[in-house]
Chains A and B, each alone.
Chain A
């Protein structure tokens, strides 16, 4: 049913790590000094060494030199004493400041990685494989805002994965549109009216052949971490084995024990019952009187 159910987390990590160094390569803000000694060392791909310096050479002077040159030229003409100080200060500031984003991201991509559970947040929710496809629980989420309902469905699906529950959905159910038309002012001005609406968005999540206790735990977890502005409604089905009749026969004694206090309430009140037989009542004066009527 789902093509990406059997996806492993290790493959996911590789996929995330790949784009980060590429971005660091392509960014023009990368600090490349005029000496070309450092450029091959920074370049992570050694195969492209003949191409990389040629590309980097025209790009590299643009961010660094224009800042330095306008500062240097006026100072050099005005006073010889301040001129040599200014460029050194600029260099010191650039070196001592925090590393560039590209470098930081590159180090982040190569040297370290996020924990697997955190990585998974950036990716589509994982799902368990359906074995029999027997529906166990239908959860309907309702909200007036798309963001809230989308976020919470995602949360619910992820929670179901960690509880080992196969999920189908989210199914976007038809929206419920309610509209009201109201006169803007007194009844005299009925011609000028205003329309208001309320659109309820719905999502259906179906749990298939899950353990009933796990389903209850899942629902309790969702109720505990209920999101603002999102309503929940769950239909839970329980399935029994084919020989349910035998089990019911076995549980008759228990049921009778439970029902005993209720069953004792049934029957005629003792103080209300007539002393004689039914014929005494039929032949009584009151009954005969009523007959005449």
Chain B
């Protein structure tokens, strides 16, 4: 249980397209969560299971709290794949509202067009 965030960083950059420090960091968090998810779930189950002894449950609690922050699902934040922004990212297109507007006006998003009703 080292506290080093670099532990989860891949040796080689495994992202393409727009790349940002914060985007890479978010990607590392996603990878870390994916790898440790079974372990987290097992510990969570042990903590909630009343048929287990208190000692075991307390130990599980400690272990879970000592896991690295990057393994938490709450650390993951959706980011714009075209600009790396974290605010107002559309889930449908995974891009920022500004990027969405530019791409929609350029006709790069299939089926999206100016609406008036």
A: residues with CB less than 8 A from B are 144-145, 178-180, 182-184, 194-200, 229, 290, 293
Contacts and interface: CB of A to CB of B under 8 A. Distances in A.
Interface of A is mostly: strand
Contacts of B116: 195
A198 B92 CA distance: 11
B89 to A, nearest CB: 12
Given A197-B112, A197-B113, 13 more contacts: A144-B111, A178-B92, A180-B90, A182-B98, A183-B97, A195-B114, A196-B104, A196-B112, A196-B113, A198-B113, A229-B110, A290-B53, A293-B54
B101 A199 contact: no
Contacts of A229: 110
B100 interface: yes
A199 B111 contact: yes
A197 B110 contact: no
Contact of A198 (B53, B98, B111): B111
Given A178-B92, A182-B100, A194 B53 contact: no
A28 to B, nearest CB: 44
Interface of B: 53-54, 90, 92, 97-98, 100-101, 104, 109-116
The 4 closest A-B pairs by CB, nearest first: A144-B111, A197-B115, A195-B115, A198-B111
Contacts of A178: 92
A199 B116 CA distance: 13
A196 B115 contact: yes
Mostly helix, strand, loop or mixed at chain B's interface? mixed
Contacts of A200: 111
Nearest to B111: A144
Contacts of A194: 101, 114
A144 B110 contact: yes
A180 B109 CA distance: 13
Contacts of A179: 115
A182 B115 CA distance: 12
Contacts of A196: 100-101, 104, 112-115
Nearest to A199: B111
B54 to A, nearest CB: 6
A289 to B, nearest CB: 9
Contacts of B110: 144, 229
A293 B109 CA distance: 63
Contacts of A184: 101
A182 B101 contact: yes
Contacts of B97: 182-183
Contact of B112 (A145, A198, A290): A198
A195 B116 CA distance: 7
A159 B53 CA distance: 66
13 contacts: A180-B90, A180-B100, A182-B97, A182-B100, A195-B114, A196-B101, A196-B113, A196-B115, A197-B112, A197-B113, A197-B114, A198-B111, A200-B111
